[in-house]
A and B are shown apart, each in its own frame.
Chain A
């Protein structure tokens, strides 16, 4: 009995103690922060959102490598020697165009690991925490400040630059090609002439391609050239290389001139040497041939329309031109020829004929 009373008493006592504490809290001020109306000042180091000061980025890739979840993606293009990209605010020379700098904040885990290795401290966390989106794709932030045209331009420049260097480097190795290429052109042209042209046009790669394989783009194109208008093409390319960049439209026009150029190529362009024989014969057909396109590689997109018109036999070509770099790869005809044609197809004549007949 006494026990029960004692227990009962302790029950009441503890309950009233608790109620005393809660009623004290009832009258004490609240700790609530009325969020949208009042905001907490976040400390400077708070990690809420990544920001990249792209003007200071030297595209060193350190942040990409540090990120555990791979949510940073950077594409860069090497600037050509004649362009000065300026310096970062702490005096480092920038040498790369940053054509893409995407951070996927939906993937990011705010670990801050990417900000420490950055040599120019241009990637850092800012205190903006209100950036929810309805579409998660909107959480991918693009920090690159280059316009698409600019990207295209610098990419082209860089490619050409690269190409040039590669060609220079390989001048010696090319010597064996001429004979082969001639054959190829003949064989390949028989089947896929149109496609071939197109492909070749898209990439427009000079003779050098087969060997050097600068970029995927150039490779397919290289073969095609040899295929039908191998002769013609070479000429075209050389031109484009130096002057083509600025004037896309001019290429079609210059096509005829291409023939003349071969000679020039021979000198300047290593790949040109291989082609010589072919060119001389086919010169007429060559003009019409997509050869023009090849040059346009970078700027090819704009040109396409122009070429068809200019070239009489171009009907086949037009479709091919639009392909531009990526498309070129897909074109089966072109590839097949290029690969197989080199060895298999003996009859070079066909290739040359077709273009002619079209004319």
Chain B
């Protein structure tokens, strides 16, 4: 009995891991494809036949074979540890995401809270890696990253909080379930973003903040290539670097999926009962998440990046006041209607 439940637990733990790994491989390929198409190129074309779909696998093989370089005078222990903490943090957060109506890693009542708390570990691992590298560029990247992630957590949490106020639960499964049905204006799905006009503003703030949390352009300062070489990853190579990449893409997906749960009905089908069910639920959930990921990529290949002080200005002087104001307005709206 006990072994069975442990096995079940492992299986449940394994599913998100497999999803992450497959997703990361294809997201890296996909990002290169998106970049290629946006830039009138083709992107990877040669490995694996059709549009070079196996490019990431080839890259992975290459990275596995690479020498593991640790710079002299680096803090070896922290240097080694950082990528794993980063990956563990983003992986652990997947536990509370409801992938479909019948699958959720851990149906926590404080799901959102857990997710936000565990993703804060990311900034610790970034600082760890940057500082342990004993490289000035890395240190710069780490410091920027710490400042950025700590700052942007505030608007993220505020916008999430606005959703929680509307939904009335910290459990992500509950939040999703209450978005099922197509009653808004008679035919639109009951997604939260369509329930309350101020939640649209909340979503915009949320989206901007997750861009910053996931280090995406225009907020990719921690690794801004043209200034800091590669930011906190400068000294990493081979598999350790691959772990960072993996964690980064996982983080991107995680935050996009969170957005999908909070604003777009999670695993709910947009057509009511049509194409609904656990399997379809998984499909819709991933589709929504991946669409947000695509938008992130699209933005990345369009915009230049902010400067570090502008980033802070945007956060503290615009997004945070706005999100507080928005929060109050949402609360008022909820009281009135």
A and B assemble together: yes
Contact residues of A with B, CB < 8 Å?
4, 8, 15, 18-19, 21-23, 25-32, 34
Q: Is B19 an interface residue (CB 8 A)?
A: no
Query: Chain B contacts of A18 at CB under 8 A?
Result: 302-303
Interchain CB contact under 8 A, A26 and B302: no
**Chain B residues with CB under 8 A of A22:** 38, 298, 301-302
CB 8 Å contact bits of B146-187 with A (1 = contact, 0 = none): 000000000000000000000000000000000000000000
Query: With an 8 A cutoff between CB atoms, is B40 at the interface?
Result: yes
Please provide the 6 A-B residue pairs with the shortest distance between their CB atoms, ordered closest to farther. Answer: A22-B302, A32-B42, A18-B302, A30-B42, A26-B37, A22-B38
Pull 7 A–B residue pairs with CB atoms less than 8 Å apart, ordered by A.
Answer: A8-B318, A18-B302, A18-B303, A22-B301, A26-B37, A30-B42, A32-B42
Contact B299 A19 (CB under 8 A): yes
- 16 extra A-B contacts, CB within 8 A, seeds A30-B42, A32-B42: A4-B318, A15-B299, A15-B302, A15-B303, A18-B302, A18-B303, A19-B302, A21-B302, A23-B38, A27-B37, A30-B37, A30-B41, A32-B36, A32-B40, A34-B42, A34-B45
For the complex formed, measure the closest distance between the CB of A5 and the CB atoms of chain B, giving whole angstroms. Answer: 11
Q: Which label, helix, strand, loop or mixed, suits the secondary structure of the A interface? A: helix
In chain B, positions 263-317 with a C-beta closer than 8 Å to chain A are 298-299, 301-303
| Residues of B close to A21: CB separation below 8 A | 302
- Residue numbers in B under 8 Å from A28 (CB-CB): 40
B34 at the interface (CB under 8 A from A): yes
Q: Which residue on B lies nearest to A8, using beta carbons?
A: B318
B39 at the A/B interface (Cβ < 8 Å)?
yes
Chain B proximity of A346: nearest CB distance (Å): 76
Question: B40–A31 contact, CB under 8 A?
Answer: yes
A65 vs B38: C-alpha distance when bound (angstroms): 50
* Nearest Cβ on chain A to B44's Cβ, whole angstroms: 11
Is B302 touching A32 in the complex (CB atoms < 8 A)? Answer: no
Bound: A27/B34 CA distance, A: 10
Chain A residues with CB under 8 Å of B318's CB are 4, 8
Considering only CB atoms, which chain B residue lies closest to A28 in the complex?
Answer: B40
Do B40 and A25 touch (CB < 8 A)?
yes
**Would you give the shortest CB distance from B211 to chain A, in whole angstroms?**
12
Interface size band for B: 10 to 19
Q: What A residues does B34 contact at CB under 8 A?
A: 26
State A12–B318 Cα separation when bound (angstroms): 14
A282 to B302, CA, bound (A): 98
Separation of A4 and B45 alpha carbons in the complex (Å): 46
B122 CB, nearest partner CB in chain A, Å: 26
Chain A residues with CB below 8 A from B302, complex form: 15, 18-19, 21-22
Inter-chain contacts of B41 with A (CB < 8 A): 30-32
**Complex Cα–Cα for A4 and B318 (A):** 9
B39 cross-chain contacts in A, Cβ below 8 A = 25
Other-chain residue from B42, B45, B298 in contact with A23 (beta carbon distance below 8 A): B298
Whether A30 contacts B303 by the Cβ 8 Å rule is no
Give the CA-CA distance A29 to B40 in the complex, in Å: 6
* Binary per-residue interface labels of chain B (67-103) against chain A in the complex, 1 for a CB within 8 Å, 0 otherwise: 0000000000000000000000000000000000000
The CA of A23 and the CA of B40, in the complex, are separated in Å by 11
- Nearest-neighbor residue (CB-CB) of B36 within chain A: A30
A26 x B38 contact (CB < 8 A): yes
When C-beta atoms are compared, the residue in chain B nearest to A32 turns out to be B42
User: Are A19 and B42 closer than 8 Å at their CB atoms?
Assistant: no
Q: Which residues of B contact A29 (CB under 8 A)?
A: 40
For A36, the closest partner residue in chain B by CB is B46
Q: Which residue of A lies closest to B37 (CB)?
A: A26
A32 and B40 CA atoms in complex are apart in Å by 7
With both beta carbons as reference points, the residue of chain B lying nearest to A30 in the complex is identified as B42
Chain A hits for B37, CB < 8 A: 25-27, 30
A175: shortest Cβ distance to chain B, in Å?
A: 80
CB neighbours (8 Å) of A25 from chain B are: 37-40
For residue B40, which residues in chain A have a CB less than 8 angstroms away from its CB? 25, 28-32
User: In the complex, what residues of A have CB within 8 A of residue B299's CB?
Assistant: 15, 19
CB neighbours of A4 from chain B (8 A): 318
Chain B residue with Cβ nearest A16: B302
Chain B CB within 10 Å, residue with most, of A4, A15, A26? A26
- In the bound complex, do residue A19 and residue B298 qualify as a contact, i.e. CB atoms below 8 Å apart? yes
